[in-house]
Every structure is written in structure tokens, then in C-alpha cells.
Amino acid sequence: MSTRDETPDAPDLPAEDAAGASPQQPPEEHGPAAAVDPALIDPAAVVRLRLVIARLYRQLAQASTGQEFTFAQQSALARIEQHGPLRLGELAALERVAAPSMTRTVGPLVAAGLVSKVPDPHDGRSTLVELSPAGADLLATIRQERSELLAGRAAALTAHEQAVLLAALPVLEHLLVDGAPDSR
């Protein structure tokens, strides 16, 4: 059940944005065979999308545990969880940062007991970083809190808006293509 007024006078989705422009219709297909000319994508819509994603992420981050850790530290924790014990150089490569930066990122995680340094079983001169039980617990708590917030927000949408949001997931996931150039 939606918390919004679903009368015909209050449409689920605006026909126009604040500037009076009609919203962009997504292409029927996506992928290499159905490539869209980038010149056809409304720059104002790109700005809106970027701002919505950034603001939503910020709200999710602010509503969850672990705020004392930077985005880079939380990302490193998640990579270690995903890939298992890693050398710092391997973790740096996965995160696309320099090894000295990763050393500075991981140091506070080790000090907080979220990551442990263990000997590399294949090279006694090297160490690996692995997720500790406390690190796994922190990641699980952060994910649960963020998912609960997002689920609550989605529950407040109309049925039509929920359907549109779910239909947009494959397109948003397509934006996450690994190996895309990092153009910060």
C-alpha cells in the first residue's frame, strides 16, 4: 500500500521536470547492438541522474553504521570479503589505487580489528590481509541498515513507481560495466 495520494490529479510520475522538459524515454533495447548516440542523451538528465545517485548514496551511508571509516576503507573491506585473503598490491590493483595508498587505507582497518595480516602461505616474505569476524559483522550490519532504508523508501512509492524502478535495474546495472574507464 502506497503512502502517496494516487488520485488522477496526482500522477505517479511527472510529465515534466522542474525546467518544463519532458523526461527522456529509455531505449527499448540496450547493449552494443542498440547503441545510442551520446549526443542524444540530454545533458540535464545526466546531471539529474548523477545527483540522484550521489545523494541517495550519501543518505544510505549516513544512515548506517561504520561512518568512522572512509568510503575507500569500506570498499577495501568489501573487496577482501569478495576475494578472500589478498596481498596489499593485489588489493590496490583491484581498487585501482597505488600500493602506498592502500597501505594507508588498510592500516586503520587492522588497528580497528576489522582486517588481519597473516603470513602468505606461498611466500614467507609476504603477508596477506584477510577479513576478521568483526569486519564481516560490520559489513553485514552496514548492508542490512542500508537495505532497510532503501526498502522503506521503495515501499513509500506507488505501485507504478515501484514497477518503473524495478524495470530500471537492468539499465542501471549496465552502467556498472567492469573495466569502464575511470574518469574522475
Residue range 1-57, pLDDT digits in tens? 333 333 323 223 233 333 333 334 444 444 554 566 767 788 999 999 999 999 999
CA–chain centroid gap for 96, Å, is: 16
Q: pLDDT tens digits, residue range 92-131?
A: 999 999 999 999 999 999 999 999 999 999 988 899 999 9
pLDDT tens profile 55-73: 999 999 898 888 899 999 9
Q: Report how far residue 45's alpha carbon sits from residue 55's, in angstroms, rounded to the nearest whole number.
A: 15
Confidence (pLDDT) at 49: 92
- Predicted local confidence at residue 35, as pLDDT: 62
Report pLDDT for 15: 32
Domains and CATH numbers, the chain: 68-172 (1.10.10.10)
